Amino acid sequence: MKYQDVIPEQAQSTILCTVNFRKDVDTEVVLEAFKGFCERLHPTMNSMKIRFPYDNFKFAMGIGAEAWQRLFPNTKRPKELERFNEINGQTKKAVSTEGDLFFHIRAEKMDVCYEMMLIIHKLLKDVIESVDETHGFRFRDGRAIFGFVDGTENPDIEEVQDVVYIDDENDPYIGGTYVLAQKYIFDLDLWDSLTVEKQELVVGRTKENDLELADDVKPSNAHTEISKAHDKMGEEIKIMRANIAFAEASKNLFGSYFLGYSKDFSTTLQMLQHMFEGKEKDTHDSILDYFNPITGNLFFVPSYEQLDMIANDEIK
C-alpha cells in the first residue's frame, strides 16, 4: 500500500492551499483535468524527492465531499466524508467553509514548496480557483504560535500508522485517511498580557520544558485536558495533529493552521465538540479565548492506489 505523506513531520516551511473547482467549467472538463493530475502525481512526487533529496519534501492532497459528489456521483463516498458541519458553542463557533481540494506541502526550504505549487498551478489552473493559501513556518524549537511545544501528545512512531490510515480490509478506501483543516487567528496581544503561569494553566503544560501539569493543578478546561477523545470504555483515542504557525507581523496578524489526520473522523469530531461545546461543567476549551477559527473543512486523502483508480477511470 502506497500511502500519501500525511504524517506531519516537522518541516521548516509549509504551504497549505485550499481550492475549489470552477463552477463555470463543465464537469467533464474538470474531471479530465483532475484525472490527468492524479495520473502525474506519484511520478511527480518521485521526481521532487530525486531533485531535492536533502529537503525532506512531503506532499498530501485531500478531496472534499462536494467535489467527490460532483466528480463521482455514482460512486459511494468514503463513509465519513461529508461537508464539515458547524459546531456552535456558547462562546465560539467552529465554522464550516468551502473547499474542493486541499494541498499540504512541506519541505526544509520554501522554494521547494513553491515548486510543487507551481506544478499544481500548471496542471489545474484552468479548472480551479483559490479559496485560501497560507505559508507557514517552523516556529522556534517546534513550538506552536503561542509559544508551547506542539505535538507532544501525538502517537508514537510505532502506532502512528494504525491511528492515521484506514486499516479495515472491508473498507474500499483502505489506506486513505481523513484530515480536518482549520485556520485560526491568534490574539497575540491578549495572550501576552497573561503571565507565564496563567498561560500554562490554559494549555495544561509548562512553557519552558513542556512538562504536563499535575492533576491537582491543571484545570479541567485546559487545552490538553478537555480536547481529548475517548472510546466507549473510557480509553483515550489519539489522532495525528499539527499546528502550523503563520504570521504577517506588520499587520498584527498571527495564526495557527490546525490539521487533524485520523482513520476515523469521528475521533477528531469528538475532540472538537469537547473544545467548542464543553465537557461536564466546562463550557469550552480555555485556549479558544485566544483563538478564532476562520475556516473549517473536512477532506479525504486517498492512497496512491486510489488515485491511480481515479486516473484510470475506475472510480465513476
Q: Which residues are catalytic?
A: 150
Q: 125 CB contacts (<8 Å, ≥6 apart)?
A: none
Query: How many other CB atoms are there within 10 angstroms of residue 102's CB atom?
Result: 25
CA distance readout (Å), 179 to 76, 89, 265, 266: 19, 22, 8, 11
Residue written as cell 489545474? Answer: 124
CA-closest candidate to residue 229, choices 193, 279, 181, 183: 279
How is 112-138 classified by DSSP, letter by letter? Answer: HHHHHHHHHHHHHTTTEEEEEEEEEE-
Give the separation between CA 108 and CA 49, rounded to whole angstroms: 12
* 33 phi/psi in degrees, rounded to 5: -65, -40
Helix 27-51 / helix 110-124 crossing angle, nearest 10 deg: 150
Amino acid at 63: I
Helix 304-311 / helix 27-51 crossing angle, nearest 10 deg: 140
Give the separation between CA 11 and CA 9, rounded to whole angstroms: 6
